C-alpha cells in the first residue's frame, strides 16, 4: 500500500485573536502587494498578524499593523520597515461590499490569515462584529464543553 503524500499547510500567519474578539460575518480573499524582501521573509515564516486590521481609504483597502520581520542579511541596499502599510488587491465589487459593511455601526474589517496560493501571498480578510465580554465567555464555555465531550467519547470507546 502506497503512502499518501503529506498535505502541506499553506498558512503563513494566522490571527487567532480575531476569532476570539470578533464574530466573523463575511470572508474575502485579497492579494497583498509586497516587496522582494517581504516575500523572502514570509517564506521563512517571519509574518505576524496580531493587532492587524484593514483600513478603507480612497476606495482602496490597506493592511495596517501586520508585521513582517526582515531576515538578517549583510546586504543593506534596501530599507526595511516591518510594519509598513501594505495594499490589498481586491475587485471593485468586493471593495464596495467592504465599504458598505464597515460604514454600518459596529462592523470592522480584520485580516484573519496570510497564506500561499501557488507562488502568490493571499490574505483572508473578514467583515466582523466585535464580541461583548459575555459572548467571549460563551465561546470559551462551548470550546471547553466540546473538548470534554471528546474526552468522554474517547474514554468510553476504550472500555
**Which triple of cell numbers denotes residue 21?**
474578539
- Considering the entire predicted model, what is its pTM? 0.75
Backbone angles phi, psi at 86, to 5 degrees: -115, 140
Predicted local distance difference test score (pLDDT) of residue 145: 92
pLDDT truncated to tens, each residue of the chain (159 aa)?
Answer: 456 555 557 889 899 888 888 888 999 999 999 988 889 899 988 899 988 889 999 989 999 999 998 887 655 567 788 888 999 999 999 999 999 988 888 889 999 999 999 999 999 999 998 887 777 788 888 889 999 999 999 888 876
- 8 A C-beta contact, residue 29 and residue 116: no
What DSSP designation does 122 have? E
The answer to whether the CB of 114 falls within 8 A of the CB of 122 is yes
Average pLDDT, rounded, for the chain: 86
Q: Phi, psi at residue 129, to the nearest 5°?
A: -115, 130
- pLDDT one-digit tens code per residue, 24-58: 899 999 999 998 888 989 998 889 998 888 999 99
Alpha carbon separation from 35 to 71, 128, 157 (Å, rounded)? 13, 28, 53
At residue 80, the pLDDT reads 80
Q: Where are the domains of the chain?
A: 11-131
According to the CATH classification, is domain 11-131 in 2.60.40.290? no
The reported pLDDT for the residue numbered 110 is: 93
Amino acid at each position: 500500500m502506497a503512502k499518501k503524500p503529506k498535505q502541506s499547510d499553506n498558512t503563513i500567519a494566522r490571527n487567532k485573536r480575531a476569532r476570539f474578539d470578533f464574530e466573523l460575518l463575511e470572508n474575502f480573499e485579497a492579494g497583498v502587494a509586497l516587496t522582494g524582501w517581504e516575500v523572502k521573509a514570509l517564506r521563512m515564516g517571519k509574518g505576524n498578524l496580531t493587532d492587524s486590521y484593514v483600513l478603507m481609504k480612497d476606495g482602496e483597502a490597506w493592511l495596517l499593523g501586520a508585521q513582517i520581520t526582515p531576515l538578517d542579511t549583510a546586504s543593506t541596499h534596501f530599507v526595511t520597515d516591518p510594519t509598513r502599510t501594505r495594499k490589498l488587491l481586491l475587485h471593485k465589487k468586493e471593495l464596495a461590499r467592504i465599504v458598505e459593511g464597515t460604514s454600518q455601526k459596529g462592523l470592522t474589517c480584520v485580516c484573519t490569515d496570510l497564506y500561499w496560493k501557488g507562488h502568490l501571498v493571499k490574505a483572508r480578510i473578514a467583515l466582523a462584529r466585535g464580541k461583548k465580554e459575555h459572548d467571549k465567555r460563551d465561546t470559551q464555555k462551548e470550546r471547553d464543553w466540546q473538548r470534554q465531550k471528546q474526552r468522554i467519547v474517547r474514554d468510553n470507546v476504550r472500555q
